[in-house]
Structure 1
Amino acid sequence: MSERSVRRAARGPEPLPQALRDPGRTLVMGVVNVTPDSFSDGGQWFDTDVAIAHARHLLAQGADIVDVGGESTRPGAAHVSPEQELARVLPVVETLAREGAVVSVDTVNASTAEAVTQAGALIVNDVSGGLFDPEMTATVARSGAVYVLQHWRGTPETMNDLAVYGDVVAEVRAELAERLEEAVAAGVREEQVVLDPGLGFAKDPGHNWTLLSHLDALLDLGRPLLVGASRKRFLSGVVAPRVAQEPLARDAATAAVSALSAAAGAWAVRVHEVTGSLDAVRVAAEWREHS
Structure 2
Amino acid sequence: MKLKRMGVINITPNSFSDGGEFFTSDSISQRLNFLKKFDVIDIGAESTAPMNASIAWESEWERWQMILPFLKDLTIPISADTYHPETIFKLLKHWQDEKFKSRLIWNDVSGKFDASVLEFLKSKNDYIFCHNLAPSRELSGRHMDYLAAEINLTDYFKPHLHPQVIFDPCLGFSKTYQQNWDIISDFERLQSEFTATRWMIGFSRKSFLKNKFAVEDREELDRLHADEVAKIIKTARGEVWIRTHRPELIA
* TM-score bin (small chain): 0.7 to 0.9
Displacement after TM superposition at 1:50 (Å): 2.0
Aligned to 1:65: 40
The question of 1:122 aligning with 2:88 is answered no
Task: Give the whole-Å Cα distance in 1 for the aligned partners of 2:209 and 2:79.
Answer: 25
Q: Does the CA-based 8 Å contact 2:40-2:76 persist in structure 1?
A: yes
TM-score of the aligned structures, taking structure 1 as reference length: 0.74
Task: Give the whole-Å Cα distance in 2 for the aligned partners of 1:30 and 1:208.
Answer: 21
Aligned to 2:145: 161
Aligned to 1:271: 244
Quick one: percent identity of the two aligned structures? 28
The question of 1:196 aligning with 2:165 is answered no
For residues 116-165 of structure 1, give each alpha carbon's deviation from its aligned partner in whole angstroms, at most 9, with x where no partner exists: 2342442110011336xx44213312321110001011135532232332
Q: Does the CA-based 8 Å contact 2:205-2:221 persist in structure 1?
A: yes
The question of 1:258 aligning with 2:229 is answered yes
For residues 76-96 of structure 1, give each alpha carbon's deviation from its aligned partner in whole angstroms, at most 9, with x where no partner exists: 322111111122124524522
Q: Aligned to 1:99, what secondary structure does the other structure show?
A: coil
Task: Give the whole-Å Cα distance in 2 for the aligned partners of 1:193 and 1:174.
Answer: 16
Q: Aligned to 1:83, what secondary structure does the other structure show?
A: helix
Task: Give the whole-Å Cα distance in 2 for the aligned partners of 1:42 and 1:147.
Answer: 25
Task: Give the whole-Å Cα distance in 2 for the aligned partners of 1:142 and 1:156.
Answer: 24
**Which 4+ runs in 1 deviate beyond 6 A?**
none
Greater fraction strand: 2
Aligned to 2:131: 151
Task: Give the whole-Å Cα distance in 1 for the aligned partners of 2:119 and 2:48.
Answer: 21
Task: Give the whole-Å Cα distance in 2 for the aligned partners of 1:52 and 1:126.
Answer: 25
Which stretch of the first structure deviates more once superposed, 196-205 or 154-163?
A: 154-163
Decide whether aligned partners of structure 1 residues 245 and 28 sit closer, same or farther in structure 2, where only a CA change above 3 A counts: same
Q: Aligned to 1:115, what secondary structure does the other structure show?
A: helix
- Alignment size in residue pairs: 236
For residues 14-70 of structure 1, give each alpha carbon's deviation from its aligned partner in whole angstroms, at most 9, with x where no partner exists: xxxxxxxxxxx31000001000001001321123442232121222xx421110110
Task: Give the whole-Å Cα distance in 1 for the aligned partners of 2:84 and 2:180.
Answer: 26
Gaps of 5+ in 2: none
Decide whether aligned partners of structure 1 residues 143 and 48 sit closer, same or farther in structure 2, where only a CA change above 3 A counts: farther
Q: Aligned to 1:267, what secondary structure does the other structure show?
A: strand
Aligned to 1:214: 186
Task: Give the whole-Å Cα distance in 2 for the aligned partners of 1:273 and 1:129.
Answer: 25
Task: Give the whole-Å Cα distance in 2 for the aligned partners of 1:116 and 1:152.
Answer: 23
The question of 1:31 aligning with 2:11 is answered no
Gaps of 5+ in 1: 1-8, 10-24, 182-189, 280-291
Which stretch of the first structure deviates more once superposed, 80-89 or 41-50?
A: 41-50
Q: Does the CA-based 8 Å contact 1:39-1:247 persist in structure 2?
A: no
How do 1:35-50 and structure 2 match up within 5 A?
35-50=12-27
Output the aligned Cα RMSD.
Answer: 2.1
Q: Does the CA-based 8 Å contact 2:10-2:19 persist in structure 1?
A: no
Q: Does the CA-based 8 Å contact 2:12-2:22 persist in structure 1?
A: yes
**AA partner of residue 232 (structure 1):** K
